[in-house]
Structure 1
Amino acid sequence: MKRLRLAAILAAAVLALLPTSATADTAYPDPQPVTGQQIIHDPTVMRLKSGGYVAYSTGGIIGARVSKDRNHWDDAGNAFATPPAWWYEYNDKADPWAPDLSYRDGRYWLYYAVSSWGTNHSAIGVATSRTGLPGTWTDHGKVFTSETTDPWNAIDPAIMGADGRLWMSFGSYWTGIRMIELNPATGKALPGTEVHHLATRPDAPYAVEGPYIVKHGRYYYLFASYDACCSGVNSTYKIRVGRSLKVTGPYVDSTGKPMLEGGGDLLLAGHGRYIGPGGESIFRDRGKDVLAYHYYDADDQGTPKLGLNRLNWTKNGWPVVA
């Protein structure tokens, strides 16, 4: 995992700026037991229409895992056999990050980011497949980009349909989480689309990233990873959430504090051996919501591993990890 090796070297400087540190909290549930290939980072998981499950992740040329039962996972290589040539414009090793898997219009859509650590010279790309399986993807190039003159970072994409329109949330540091509208036909940014601002923090280095949005009842829920990833047992990642009646916000937590002012209910934090949970996504399985994320295993030298938990909802409409 090239990104993780680079991150281990550089993240110490970031950690010194952050206000919190990893702590054990036994109030949080452990992830469900999984076997087989457990190593993963920034997972996006889906139950395929053909049966079984697939997970894509940071590492490799978008690393792939497959499972028949959501319990035992096998290494399935990579989404692509070779990197698309345009990736080298943003990373000299063509190292993609943080994919997002969705399904619409009879096709699977795989969004991903290409960048280098510490810069917002970044791009989000998209590929499609009829089966969703590794080795079947056709790349369609850039969806949206950012440059060093922009106050946002075009990485960590997540797709959301709302009111007949298609949206993509994204962002990492650089003032936090943003959203743009996409053309449903191409899956790419609409020309001149407004860049909405969904969440940030008042404290530099604005450590919020990895958004994911789902709708439950009347509300849209924005999940995001706060603090620092990629440092093994020293990682301080945690997952927070807020909600809004509109997909473009404003998002607030259960106390009414806006996520644009650092708000967000704490959904899942490190506890016991499960350090720094984050890089989250949510998928439906047999009518239930499942939270997928990575954590750093304190009993295995901080190796990043797959976490899966049921996501339940309270009477007041707030998510809780089960």
Structure 2
Amino acid sequence: MIIIVLIISNTVMSAQELSDDIIVHDPVMIKEADTYYLFCTGWGISVYSSKDRKNWKKEKPVFAAPPAWALETVSGFKGHIWAPDISFYDGKYYLYYSISAFAKNTSAIGLVVNKTLNPASPDYQWVDQGLVVQSVPYRDFWNAIDPNLAIDETGQPWLSFGSFWGGLKMVKLSDDRKSLAQPEEWCSIAKRQRTDFLDDKDPGDAALEAPFIFKKNDYYYLFASWDYCCRGAESTYKMVVGRSQKIQGPYLDKSGKSMAEGGGTILLQGNEVYPGVGHNSAYAFDGKDYLLFHAYDMKDDGKPKLKITEMTWDEEGWPMVSTEVLSE
């Protein structure tokens, strides 16, 4: 995602302090034993833990120093890592992450793994696996950021990603989930029309990012974020959704329009208190489905706050979330 780094000196929590009002961008979550772990954009990848999904403790970041390969790959990268994605596979936690220069597609997605997420465990150690996929200016009209791992009905892993530029892409991964499958297999899963083909600082109605794929019954649901984040009261971020019976798409909205042709049904959009809401993830815990996202809180100078709300489904199988989550 495209993000403005916020330096907020009075919000740093100690390792033992709990808070139900945490500042995050691009939250993803997973549960190990009785603890939830939240990963989000930040220096070295920000990490929080919680027993109840309400009170959060800030943990040490994933990376104490920027990955060497990332410093060599992306000019200007200093260690502020964007939009991680967490999953569990073959006895390890897989954390994909993205690095980029602002408003450029000089981007790359990396992978780091750990046997446990519990910092107190003797097995706790993040081991970087390096580069997974990279976008190169003037070679690629797509942007290798905002990764999300999804698994199809055969167990095949796919990585969706993308921001602005030519839309959201998906590529098949190797069975170990650490590299692209050979021969390479790509598809476009969402796109909005644009007229500016070289500069992504002002893409107009092409503003689209942050894919997240959630399987529910017979459908794969593709969530994405439209318009602009990170602008305080001027943020226009909103979440849209489409669905497909095949992981590669096409993902259609409620009207039947393909997301690859500009379609998308609005799931949640902002209000005067939280003008921009987006970059969501979705999970099932204990028989219920949940939506996570960040929202710009005008009660607190437009800072991005964590929101978690239950997601229900209408009679036709479309996700619904209550707007009450934006009245808190």
- TM-score, normalised relative to structure 1: 0.87
Specify the SS of the correspondent of 1:263.
coil
Q: Shift of residue 197 of structure 1?
A: 0.3
Q: Shift of residue 188 of structure 1?
A: 1.8
Q: Shift of residue 75 of structure 1?
A: 1.1
Q: Shift of residue 130 of structure 1?
A: 1.1
Query: What is the letter of the counterpart of residue 59 of structure 2?
Result: A
Q: Which residue of 2 aligns with 1:26?
A: none
Q: Shift of residue 132 of structure 1?
A: 2.5
Greater displacement, 84-93 / 231-240: 84-93
Q: Which residue of 2 aligns with 1:16?
A: none
Specify the SS of the correspondent of 1:164.
coil
Cα separation, partners in 2 of 1:108 and 1:59, compared to 1, 3 Å: same
Q: 1:37, 1:309 → 2: CA distance? A: 14
1:196-207 alignment, distance < 5 Å: 196-204=187-195, 205=203, 206-207=206-207
Summarize deviations over 1:144-189 as a string: whole Å, max 9, x none. 1110120110000000111220001000011111000111224321
| Residue 147 (1) aligns with residue 136 (2) | yes
Q: 1:106, 1:313 → 2: CA distance? A: 32
The higher relative CO (CA closer than 8 Å, separation ≥ 6) is in 1
Query: What is the letter of the counterpart of residue 147 of structure 1?
Result: V
Q: Which residue of 2 aligns with 1:15?
A: none
Task: Assess if the C-alpha contact under 8 Å between 1:79 and 1:133 holds in 2.
Answer: no
Task: Assess if the C-alpha contact under 8 Å between 1:258 and 1:264 holds in 2.
Answer: yes
Unmatched 5+ stretches in structure 2: 7-17, 196-202, 323-328
Task: Assess if the C-alpha contact under 8 Å between 1:56 and 1:64 holds in 2.
Answer: yes
Q: Which residue of 2 aligns with 1:21?
A: none
Q: 1:133, 1:176 → 2: CA distance? A: 36
Match of 2:173 among 179, 182, 186: 182
Query: What is the letter of the counterpart of residue 61 of structure 2?
Result: N
Task: Assess if the C-alpha contact under 8 Å between 1:79 and 1:136 holds in 2.
Answer: no
Unmatched 5+ stretches in structure 1: 7-33
Q: Shift of residue 107 of structure 1?
A: 1.2
Moved over 3 A (4+): 34-37
Match of 1:121 among 102, 106, 112: 106
Q: Which residue of 2 aligns with 1:28?
A: none
Q: Percent identity?
A: 43
- TM-score, normalised relative to structure 2: 0.86
> CA-atom RMSD, angstroms?
1.9
Summarize deviations over 1:177-213 as a string: whole Å, max 9, x none. 1000111224321134122000011245211100000
Task: Assess if the C-alpha contact under 8 Å between 1:64 and 1:78 holds in 2.
Answer: yes
Match of 1:43 among 27, 49, 61: 27
